[in-house]
A = this chain, B = another copy of it.
Amino acid sequence: MPFVNIKITRDGATAEQKARLIQGVTELLRDVLGKNPATTVVVIEEVDPDNWGIGGETVTERRKRKA
């Protein structure tokens, strides 16, 4: 019955990678806490780099600065 929300920047994660994340988190919750995979929900949110900030700046700015 766990609910997991994963937020990442939108950077071209493939459907196959997202499927692996979902499978991996579901197995982890089963292995560590005995949670039932059938009712484990995982939602991935992909966020525009303009809308993600760390260190007080957007990821867009940070990447420009580091390029």
Q: Which A residues lie at the B interface, using CB under 8 A?
A: 1-9, 13, 15, 17-29, 32-33, 35, 37-47, 50-61
Complex: how many Å from CA A1 to CA B15? 19
- Tell me if A19 and B54 are in contact (CB < 8 A): no
- Tell me if A40 and B23 are in contact (CB < 8 A): no
Of the residues B43, B46, B59, contact of A7 by C-beta under 8 Å: B43
Assuming the A-B contacts A39-B39, A46-B51, A58-B15, are A4 and B1 also in contact, with contact meaning beta carbons closer than 8 angstroms in the complex? no
B contact residues around A28 at 8 Å (CB): 21, 24-25, 28
B contact residues around A46 at 8 Å (CB): 51
Chain B: which residue is nearest A6 at the CB level? Answer: B4
